[in-house]
């Protein structure tokens, strides 16, 4: 069984369809409410809802999603009944299989209720029409063509007393997401040097993304958020809020992180903590969304849609 605990929770939606083919007389029986077993559409609707909720018990390697909505639409044609099933659920698991299961069981239910009056029945066209998870997977390649830098802040590492691990984790995750790593370096916790480096990344190098690691705690030399905020031209506080909310479910210490995030010019700057575990949590919660944001940043219209703006 795959481990999904590192994935952030989100709303998942999928739409599937199917069709039950039959003779014209059978369609008329359904239309007129004269099927001997009762109304097949009403029963199929109930069966589809139950199937969506029980998908994990029917399909061995499929988790049962926390289904929050199942919608069924039926269309009566000349020689068929079309089925459209929509499923929504919150959580970490997609609902494509649940939508397909709902459509399939609805079709089987109609088949079962009409088989005594029609020997020509058939089921066809079971397929997925829409899947938010597919859109999310396609966005995994959106990091391609984007340039990023990793900046580690640590007095001890910069002096060679310790080895950097967090920066290497960040670099590997960015490379795996398709980003081009334009720079990776370690500097001491010096506000002036941090400001100089960030300004160069944004104003001269015009990078798409800069991820810092370290200096976000409560120590006397932890000043990364203050320095970052002073040079941002547009803060995006929701980035850090999302990461802290994700981390808080794993450790109560997540609330102590003081990172900042926002744009300077076209460059998105995000402060990450210094520990490997905290960095991993932040990347798990943020990386997919950051790629969508940076991709949409190239088009004002797309960015407006992404943020829910009114134009």
Residue linked to tokens 């969506």: 52
Q: Rounded to a whole number, what is the largest CA-CA distance in the chain?
A: 85
112 catalytic residue (yes or no)? yes
Beta strands in the chain (DSSP E): 10-21, 67-76, 80-91, 122-131, 147-153, 180-187, 209-213, 234-235, 261-264, 267-272
Question: How many Å apart are CA 231 and CA 226, to the nearest integer?
Answer: 9
Please identify which of the residues 54, 112, 183, 205 carries the catalytic annotation.
Answer: 112
Q: What is the DSSP string of 162-214?
A: S---HHHHHHHHHHHTT-EEEEEEEE-S-HHHHHHHHHIIIIIS--SEEEEES
Helices marked H in 33-120 — which ranges? 40-53, 55-58, 96-114
Question: How many Å apart are CA 237 and CA 192, to the nearest integer?
Answer: 23
Structure tokens at 54: 């029980």
Angle at the Cα of 86 (from 83 to 87), degrees rounded to 5? 140
**Residue 34 CB contacts under 8 Å (≥ 6 apart), including other chains:** none
Question: How many Å apart are CA 124 and CA 126, to the nearest integer?
Answer: 6
Residue linked to tokens 């480096």: 197
Distances, alpha carbon 14 to alpha carbons 98, 135, 257, in Å: 8, 11, 36
Structure tokens at 77: 């044609």
Tell me the catalytic residues.
112
């Amino acid at each position: 069984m795959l481990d999904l605990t590192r994935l952030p929770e989100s709303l998942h939606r999928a739409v599937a369809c199917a069709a039950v083919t039959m003779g014209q007389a059978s369609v008329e029986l359904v239309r007129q409410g004269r099927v001997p077993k009762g109304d097949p559409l009403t029963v199929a609707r109930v069966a589809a809802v139950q199937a969506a909720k029980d998908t994990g018990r029917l399909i061995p390697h499929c988790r049962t999603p926390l289904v929050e909505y199942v919608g069924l639409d039926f269309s009566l044609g000349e020689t068929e009944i079309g089925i459209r099933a929509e499923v929504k659920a919150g959580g970490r698991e997609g609902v494509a299989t649940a939508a397909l299961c709902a459509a399939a069981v609805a079709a089987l239910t109609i088949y079962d209720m009409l088989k005594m009056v029609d020997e020509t029945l058939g089921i066809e066209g079971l397929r997925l029409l829409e899947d938010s998870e597919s859109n999310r997977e396609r966005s995994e390649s959106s990091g391609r063509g984007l340039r990023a830098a990793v900046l580690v802040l640590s007095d001890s590492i910069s002096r060679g007393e310790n080895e950097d691990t967090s920066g290497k984790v960040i670099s590997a995750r960015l490379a795996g997401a398709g980003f081009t790593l334009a720079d990776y370096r370690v500097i001491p916790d010096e506000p002036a040097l941090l400001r100089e480096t960030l300004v160069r990344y944004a104003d001269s190098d015009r990078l798409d993304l800069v991820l810092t690691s370290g200096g976000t705690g409560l120590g006397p030399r932890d000043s990364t958020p203050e320095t970052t905020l002073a040079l941002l031209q547009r803060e995006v506080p929701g980035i850090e809020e999302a990461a802290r909310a994700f981390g808080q479910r794993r450790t109560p210490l997540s609330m102590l992180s003081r990172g900042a995030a926002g744009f300077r010019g076209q460059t998105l700057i995000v402060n990450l903590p210094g520990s490997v575990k905290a960095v991993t949590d932040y990347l798990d919660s943020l990386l997919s969304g950051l790629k969508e944001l940076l991709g949409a940043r190239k088009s004002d219209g797309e960015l407006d849609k992404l943020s829910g703006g009114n134009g």
